[in-house]
Chains A and B, each alone.
Chain A
Amino acid sequence: DGGITQSPKYLFRKEGQNVTLSCEQNLNHDAMYWYRQDPGQGLRLIYYSQIVNDFQKGDIAEGYSVSREKKESFPLTVTSAQKNPTAFYLCASSIVAGDSYEQYFGPGTRLTVT
């Protein structure tokens, strides 16, 4: 089945530790995105990548880093510089063509930092 996988589903870390969230897609999509979701809020864009080996900051990139070495993979590292890292993190992907903008989402990773 084609889709997006995120692992793990739940992640717990101590404050001051970096943590990497996995996102893999087998949809052959060029573009991938990372969003953060907080209770009662919509999704906010952290980073996005429209092509391998290239990525751009979104609206709330501070304290996060990404890499895009393969088309299928777009891991997100939450660094100790992120002041409030506890949140639900969603990865998405899309094609890059014309006026087609819909994105397909993974199941999410809930990160808790104490």
Chain B
Amino acid sequence: AQSVTQLDSHVSVSEGTPVLLRCNYSSSYSPSLFWYVQHPNKGLQLLLKYTSAATLVKGINGFEAEFKKSETSFHLTKPSAHMSDAAEYFCVVTLDTGRRALTFGSGTRLQVQP
């Protein structure tokens, strides 16, 4: 089955320390991959996307992600966490290009401690 797995449901970091949110996918072809962020009771905002160009993708707010085909991973990182980064993060993949639908991971809640 094709799917996307976020390996941590909760991640807690201190302000100023690095952030790593892990995502693995399962697909029979090279999909498009995204990270979205959701602040409480808000819609989702696109952080970054991978579409088979550069494997290291830079996004907004200092986030970046690296596509590793051999590991089927697309982990999200940020060198230094800020309090405003506290939110829910979703790894998203296109598994059905026919209906152009997105498949969402279950989400990782990032807490940033002062």
Report the separation of the CA atoms of residues A61 and B100 in the bound assembly, to the nearest whole angstrom. 17
Interface size in chain A (residues, C-beta < 8 A):
30
User: What B residues does A106 contact at CB under 8 A?
Assistant: 43
Q: How far is the CB of B86 from chain A (nearest CB, A)?
A: 17
Nearest to B32 among chain A residues (CB) is: A101
Q: Are B106 and A40 in touch, CB under 8 angstroms?
A: yes
In the complex formed, the residue of B with least CB distance to A35 is B104
In the assembled complex, the Cα of A33 lies from the Cα of B97 at a distance in Å of 14
1/0 contact string of B15-49 vs chain A (CB within 8 Å): 00000000000000000101010000111111001
Contact of A42 (CB < 8 Å), options: B94, B99, B105: B105
- Are A48 and B32 in contact (CB-based, < 8 A)? no
Q: Does A43 contact B (CB under 8 A)?
A: yes
Contact A41 B45 (CB under 8 A): no
With a CB–CB cut-off of 8 A, which chain A residues contact B32? 99, 101-102
A1 shortest CB reach to chain B, Å = 14
A105 interface residue, CB < 8 Å from B? yes
Shortest CB–CB separation between residue B48 and chain A, in angstroms?
10
- The reply to whether A90 and B44 form a contact with Cβ atoms under 8 Å apart is yes
Given A31-B100, A33-B101, A45-B101, A102 contacting B46 (CB threshold 8 A): yes
Q: Measuring CB to CB, which residues of chain B are less than 8 angstroms from any residue of chain A?
A: 9, 32, 34, 36, 41-46, 49, 51-52, 90, 94, 97, 99-102, 104-107
